[in-house]
Amino acid sequence: MKSRLEVITTFTVATLIVFAVLNSSFITANIGGWFRGASTIEDANAQTNLFPVVTARNAFLSNRATLVIDKIGVSAPVVFGTSTDSKSIYSDLEKGVVHYATSPKPGENGASVILGHSSAYPWYKGAYGNVFALLGKLQVGDAFYVEYADGQRFNYVVKQSIIFKPLTEDPRLVQIENTNKPILVLITCWPIGTNYKRIAVEAELIQ
């Protein structure tokens, strides 16, 4: 009996160690997330007063920008101009988060889409392998922003989160895709450590 218990204990410990090694970046992100405060719609309104939103129809938007989500500790360059093929997207995800090329830029009318990794193996080459590890912790009313290199800043507030299967037609996504409102959709793999599903966080521009 003792020998059997030792085998089970050893197997359990070994499994936990392997999980910790393969998901170290995700675990680290979660630990850091416990110590961060929330950014709410009230915070976003205050930021808007300090940094007025520039109407996209009258403004030139550059190809250099940063996505900042204080609540989950994200500050990452937005990579523009990436081809829509998977190989190019995966390559550029090593440099930051990727703007999906066929969608509007953040600040423009329509659904702008930004992709990011939620987890990566320890041997992953880029610095942004777990940039969206805590994306699922964003709640309705949380605020974040995209700031372009020339100082134009667009503030967003989270409206909803959707978990969906890729390559399927989800009516909730269809509704988002057909909007004329200036919204931003952040997408990553879900659950953490898999690519079985996706989580999409929809946020609306604060005018």
Residues 115-164: tens digit of each pLDDT: 999 988 777 778 899 999 999 999 999 999 999 999 999 999 999 999 99
CA distance 182 to 113: 11
The count of other CB atoms within 10 Å of the CB of residue 159 is 14
Instruction: Name the residue among 129, 162, 113, 152 with its Cα closest to residue 28.
Output: 129
User: What gap in Å lies between CA 46 and CA 50, rounded to an integer?
Assistant: 7
How far lies 110's CA from each of 23, 56, 62, 104, 159, in Å? 35, 11, 18, 6, 15
pLDDT value of residue 34: 42
Q: What fold does the segment set 2-205 form as a domain?
A: Sortase; Chain: A; (2.40.260)
**What is the pTM (predicted TM-score) of this model?**
0.75
H runs (alpha helix) in 23-82: 24-34, 41-50
> What mean pLDDT comes out for the span 189-204?
92
Q: Letter for the amino acid at 5?
A: L
pLDDT > 70: percent of the chain: 71
pLDDT one-digit tens code per residue, 38-91: 444 344 333 333 333 334 444 579 999 999 999 999 999 999 998 888 899 999
- Sketch the domain layout of the chain as residue ranges: 2-205
Report the alpha-carbon distance of residue 23 to residue 121 in Å, rounded: 7
Burial of 73 (0-12, 13-18, 19+ CB in 10 A): middle
Yes or no: say if 91 and 162 are a contact pair by the CB < 8 Å rule.
Answer: no
The widest CA-to-CA distance across the chain, in whole angstroms, is 76
**Alpha helix locations (H) across 57-150?**
86-92
